[in-house]
Amino acid sequence: MRGPVGVAVIGCGGVSGGHLSAYAANSRARLVATVDARPALAEAAAHKWGAARWYATVEEALADPEVRVVDLCLPHHLHAPVAIQAADAGKHVFVEKPIANTLEEADAMIAACRRAGVLLLVDQTKRYQNRHRRVKELLDAGYVGEPVLVKGAYLQDITYAWRQMDPARRAGYWKHDGVISGIGIHALDLLRWLIGEAVEVQAVAATTDLIESGRRTEDSGIVLLRFANGCVGEVTVSYVLKDPRLASSWDVMPLQIYGRDGSLQLGWDDRITVASRKLPGDGAGIVEFHSRPPVGAPRPPAEGMAGAIEHLLDCLLDGARPLTPGEDARASLELVEAAYRSIREGRAVRLPLAAPSGG
Ligand SMILES: NC(=O)c1ccc[n+]([C@@H]2O[C@H](COP(=O)([O-])OP(=O)(O)OC[C@H]3O[C@@H](n4cnc5c(N)ncnc54)[C@H](O)[C@@H]3O)[C@@H](O)[C@H]2O)c1
């Protein structure tokens, strides 16, 4: 494929700004269209980010010959049907996490994209953050050695954001969306990437009235993992955390990995600390990582959603091997499904849950 790649962003709600700004700044992409069932949102996004046109329906975008990729920033239940429709129309698909609501939906998406010979890439954003890329490099370089224990977390306080949120989003989006599916999947996906595949999952969760009274889906949870390589792990997730350290950053993802040769900690301040037999001296040291490089330092690679979009373009234009293809994102969804099954049944759940169906 030759660039720039024509893109339609479908869904112009909360997350879309991160995608639209990345396309607008990337010379290898061309923002052809913005799409939203609420046309005023699509129109405003088109004006703001320089899209050639805007549409109120998916069908119009799929009929547009200049659109070669659809970027789905849609509620979870629409990921599968719209991705399948897009693949059938010959469009490449970039979709927000989680890949879908269920494993069966994910399988249908993967099969449709394979059938059509189009790319299915999922925005498992955390793998594209520079701090996590650095952690991966340090693990691959052997500072920690074979992992023994991992503790991860993804903590947010959305109680303030909730009160400010667009009522349409509140009604249509969060209701089917607990914290394990909503942000836990980021931490679980990251641990799959850093540690390996899990063979057993056990979880507990709580639902408070801190977001809204009568909320049904969980707003805090703990997921325990046993990995195939023998490592054990814990992922703590919450939407309702009250902590002074969240004042300047409402969203944090601390991480600790302990291995046979050392340990690594990614702190609340994004600083990475390593203690390792591989380091000179007494075996303890600090590997500095600056999420904002000092003045004059080389610009770090695009990261987060912009990093995922850069990678999407690398795959389409340069034949790069996809880091988070549909099959991989399905495995992260499987951990979420296993956690919910464990909560429902009050027991540890073995993986895999089920072989991929179809395709
Ligand atoms: N990667 C991340 O860090 C991250 C962060 C936030 C959200 N997300 C994900 O992004 C996705 C979207 O989340 P959001 O917060 O932007 O949701 P949102 O509800 O704010 O936006 C969704 C938009 O889709 C539109 N829409 C609904 N049905 C449509 C249809 N049939 N055709 C066209 N448009 C339609 C809605 O009008 C709305 O504007 C979800 O999968 C969510 O989990 C990812």
CATH of residue 15: 3.40.50.720
Q: Are residues 276 and 143 in the same domain?
A: yes
**Secondary structure percentages of the chain, helix, strand, coil, to 5:** 40, 25, 35
For residue 342, give both structure tokens: 């464990």
Q: Are residues 22 and 40 in the same domain?
A: yes
Residue nearest to atom 18 of ligand 1 (CA): 13
For residue 14, give every residue at least 6 positions away whose Cβ sits within 8 Å of its Cβ, in sequence order, or none: 166, 169
Nearest atom in ligand 1 to 58's CA: 32
* CB-CB contact of 173 with 125 (8 Å): no
pLDDT tens figures, 272-318: 999 888 887 766 666 766 666 677 887 788 999 999 999 999 999 99
Q: Compute the distance from residue 10 Cα to the ligand 1 centre, in Å.
A: 9
How far is residue 123 from each of residues 95, 147, 307, 323, measured CA to CA in Å?
Answer: 6, 26, 10, 10
pLDDT at 175: 47
Q: Are residues 250 and 161 in the same domain?
A: yes
Give the residue ranges of the chain where pLDDT is below 50: 175, 359
The 8-class DSSP code of residue 4 comes to S
Q: Are residues 141 and 283 in the same domain?
A: yes
Ligand 1: which of 10, 36, 251 to mutate, judged by most atoms within 8 Å of the beta carbon? 36
pLDDT tens figures, 345-359: 999 999 999 767 654
Beta-sheet pairing, 29-35 with 5-10? parallel
Q: Compute the distance from residue 75 Cα to the ligand 1 centre, in Å.
A: 5
Q: Are residues 75 and 219 in the same domain?
A: no
pLDDT at 334: 97
Write the CATH number for 285.
Answer: 3.30.360.10
> Is the CB–ligand 1 distance for residue 105 below 6 Å?
no
> Is the CB–ligand 1 distance for residue 110 below 6 Å?
no
Number of structural domains the chain divides into: 2
* CB-CB contact of 284 with 3 (8 Å): no
> Is the CB–ligand 1 distance for residue 276 below 6 Å?
no
Look at residues 228, 295, 316, 294 and name the one whose alpha carbon lies nearest to residue 3: 316
The values of phi and psi at residue 184, to 5°, are -55, -35
Q: Are residues 96 and 161 in the same domain?
A: no
Domain hosting residue 31, numbered range: 5-125+306-324
Ligand 1: which of 15, 132, 162, 250 to mutate, judged by most atoms within 8 Å of the beta carbon? 15
Alpha carbon distance 297, 160 (integer Å):
36
> Is the CB–ligand 1 distance for residue 147 below 6 Å?
no
pTM of the model: 0.95
Beta-sheet pairing, 198-206 with 220-227? antiparallel
Burial class, 281, CB count within 10 angstroms (exposed 0-12 / middle 13-18 / buried 19+): exposed
pLDDT tens figures, 56-68: 999 999 999 999 9
